[in-house]
Amino acid sequence: MSDWNSSEINDLIQGLKKIEKYTWGQIKKHGSTKPGSSVGTGYKLISIHPSLPENIPKDIKFSEMRIDEKKRIFGFREDAVYYIVWFDRDHSVCPE
């Protein structure tokens, strides 16, 4: 069961559809080098986060991507695949 309502789920799906059109190079360029700010997908590496599930490798580079103003996805990339670990509907997993 999800705490997300249908509008939030639709926002998530639309955001994922937007992100899937980009190459990894484009996604990384959609981040910001200025601490605390984001542009586009807002891609950025995250070093401080809640404990990861046991099946997640300890040496991964954990990252965040923006779905919209508040919603985020958190995960990691292996080769060409981005594994989503958390969907964050209110920017509470790793608040800034």
Chain centroid to CA 89? 11
Q: How far apart are the first and last CA of the chain?
A: 28
Share above pLDDT 90 across residues of the chain, in percent, rounded to a whole number: 10
Residue 26 clears pLDDT 70, i.e. is over it = yes
**1-12 tens-digit pLDDT:** 468 889 988 988
**33-68 tens-digit pLDDT:** 555 555 568 888 888 888 888 888 888 899 999 888
3-state secondary structure of 17: helix
Residue type at 62 in one-letter notation: F
pLDDT value of position 76: 93
Determine which helix (DSSP H) or strand (DSSP E) holds 76, and give its type and residue range.
strand 72-78
